[in-house]
Amino acid sequence: MTIPDGLAESAFSNLIGCRVQSVEDGKARVALSLEPHLRNRGGKMHGGVLFSLVDITMGLACSGTHGFDRQSVTIECKINYLRSVSEGEVLCIAKVIHPGRRTFVVEADVMQGDKLVAKAQGTFALL
């Protein structure tokens, strides 16, 4: 899918350092490196950063389904944090599992290498 200039990124995704790797039909991949400003008090990647990565990637998967000429917004999201990230890079892989007429259900995995860091599921409303 050809992504119109600037529509795969937002000021917020740029602020935290997201790098869009791909957006295809109902799928998206976004990478993020752990930088000092993304750490929590314990020195690990902040859970809010992981949640934001998931939300951004799931939104792009929706756009990969309905097109960048329409907008979808998160109306619900649940995440399970399975392991902490102390260094390096994570990759979020999102897939639309139900493209409805008004809502989409999306799954996302956050991986560090072959290790599952977080698992999420969200519902997005098509505007």
Global pTM?
Answer: 0.93
2 is written with which tokens?
A: 């050809």
Distance, CA of 76 to CA of 56 (rounded, Å): 13
Distance, CA of 75 to CA of 15 (rounded, Å): 23
Find out whether 53 and 92 touch, Cβ atoms under 8 Å: yes
Query: Over 60: is that where the pLDDT of 4 sits?
Result: no
Range name among 5-14, 65-74, 87-96 with the lowest pLDDT average: 5-14
Closest by Cα among 66, 43, 65, 51 to 18: 51
**80: β partners:** 119
Query: Over 70: is that where the pLDDT of 95 sits?
Result: yes
- Domain positions in the chain: 11-126
pLDDT, one tens digit per residue, over 69-92 is 899 999 999 999 999 999 999 999
Mean residue pLDDT across the chain? 93
Tell me, what's the pLDDT at 6?
55
E strand spans, the chain: 19-24, 27-33, 72-81, 89-99, 103-112, 115-126
Tell me, what's the pLDDT at 1?
54
Distance, CA of 88 to CA of 9 (rounded, Å): 22
Our measurement of the distance from residue 19's CA atom to the centroid of its chain's CA atoms, rounded to an integer in Å, reads 10
Q: Look up the CATH number of domain 11-126.
A: 3.10.129.10
pLDDT, one tens digit per residue, over 30-39 is 999 999 999 9
Tell me, what's the pLDDT at 118?
98
Q: Backbone phi, then psi, for 22, in 5-degree steps?
A: -160, 150
